[in-house]
Structure 1
Amino acid sequence: MQIFKKTAFLVASLVLASAAYATDSPANTTSTSTLDATQIVAASDRARGGGLNGVQWTIDITGQDSGGPIDKRSYLVRASGEDSLAEATYPPREAGSRLLQNGRSMWFGKATLTKPVSISTRQKMVGPASNGDIASTNYAKDYDATLLRTEQVDGEDAYVLNLVAKSKFVTYDRIVYYVSVSRLVPLKADFYTVSGKIFKTASFEMANRLDIDGRAQPFVSKMSIQDTIEKSNYSLLQYSEVATKKFGADMFNLGSLNRP
């Protein structure tokens, strides 16, 4: 009987010690996801057109800048891989002008120009929205990503990632990006200058869906961009008519940019 009691006591002690270790172990306070930071960003890119082989959507931009309310602008955007082409459809005076992004290079073209004009993805377009904001997103290739932590965004668990630009030719120098743990879609973003100052923020909604090889792919339906310095300065980008589509070989060809 005495031996039984000692054995029972020893077993109980080991159980309690194991429980205490499990509670204090760092493994219980760190994400156990099998995805690394770059894979998380690559998955979130797909919700904004990046890395998909053939997708198009309509984007309507409204908002306000320092001059007052912004006139609506609309574009038909086509994207495949690292390339995207945004063609203006409204207002009528802008219809037919195009923005072509090949990797990290961006060009402006229209039928009345003799040759395409090289432009910056950082150039202001409408309110605080930049040229690069309306193109497909390829953050996984354009930025070095580090997973900082997880936290909640509007009640949803999110990966918090630090993205540092690999080149001066990308839209932002640094981004703190919040990506849903369960859905792998972007929830919000903080954009920083090279000096480390936050100058605008964005939030995302994902009400659109694509069918990719028989699987549902969430796709952005709304992006709200807020200037953090001039609080009245904001842009609202709304995405509709999202669909997969195959494009001809010349769709993203620079030589075709100024075609009628």
Structure 2
Amino acid sequence: MPSTDRGKLLLRNDNILWFYDPKSKVSVRMSPRQRLLGNASNGDVITSNFTLDYSAVLEGVETITDGDRNSRLAWKLRLKATNEFAPYKQVELWVDKENDRPLKGKFYGNSGKLLKVAWYRNWKMVFDRIRPTEVVIGDGFNPNKITLMQMSQYQKKTLPLSWFNKEWLPHFTSQGEQ
């Protein structure tokens, strides 16, 4: 993480998203579609919920190339947003026929234009569940723009309920202490 981004925080409370920057010492409400870093929007990072925010229709079975450049047999689903909080209007999602893991997604805006393509990869056991620990995101307008999101060093912590409000964000530290 670049040093200019250290200490910046995101808080999702139901469908409300807050961003805190320690330099300005202000919490600002954000849209899930606003960019976080590179080609990744906040919706990519913390607000996409394929089950709650979308209805799905099975369009068939296809062989696709996954994020590791392997051929995989996948279910092709068309997801349509069911509420205004969904980060994208529509998503094409390919799910591994062998293990039901998402392999690839194409994300579309309200205009119907392709905004980005994501590949889910590097699956590992995290908190008793196999999860992708990398997401490769390609820009829908310029395929030469790529963002790699890597998730690691997961930790389970019990946090006080009082921490989950925008007023508390200035007191947060990486150790979770005031």
Q: Which has the higher contact order (CA 8 A, sep 6+)?
A: 1
> Are 1:226 and 2:142 counterparts?
no
**CA distance 1:94–1:133, shift in 2 (3 Å):** same
- CA shift at 1:211, angstroms? 3.9
Q: TM-score, normalised by structure 2?
A: 0.80
Equivalent residues in 2 for 1:86-235 (5 A)? 91-111=2-22, 115-135=26-46, 137-154=48-65, 155-212=71-128, 217-235=129-147
1:111 and 1:259 in contact (8 A); partners too: no
Structure with higher Rg: it is 1
- CA shift at 1:136, angstroms? 5.6
Q: Which residue of 1 aligns with 2:165?
A: 253
SS in 1 for 2:154: strand
> Which stretches in structure 2 are left out of the alignment for 5+ residues?
66-70, 173-178
Aligned length: 167
> Which stretches in structure 1 are left out of the alignment for 5+ residues?
1-73, 75-90
Deviations 1:24-59 (A, max 9, x none): xxxxxxxxxxxxxxxxxxxxxxxxxxxxxxxxxxxx
- CA shift at 1:115, angstroms? 4.9
2:62 and 2:74 in contact (8 A); partners too: yes
Residue type matched to 2:160 in 1?
G
Residue type matched to 2:162 in 1?
D
1:108 and 1:118 in contact (8 A); partners too: yes
Q: Which residue of 2 aligns with 1:16?
A: none
Q: Which residue of 2 aligns with 1:242?
A: 154
Instruction: Measure, in 1, the Cα distance between the counterparts of 2:125 and 2:103.
Output: 16
Instruction: Measure, in 2, the Cα distance between the counterparts of 1:211 and 1:199.
Output: 31
Percent identity over paired residues:
29
RMSD: 2.2
1:143 and 1:163 in contact (8 A); partners too: yes
2:94 and 2:102 in contact (8 A); partners too: yes
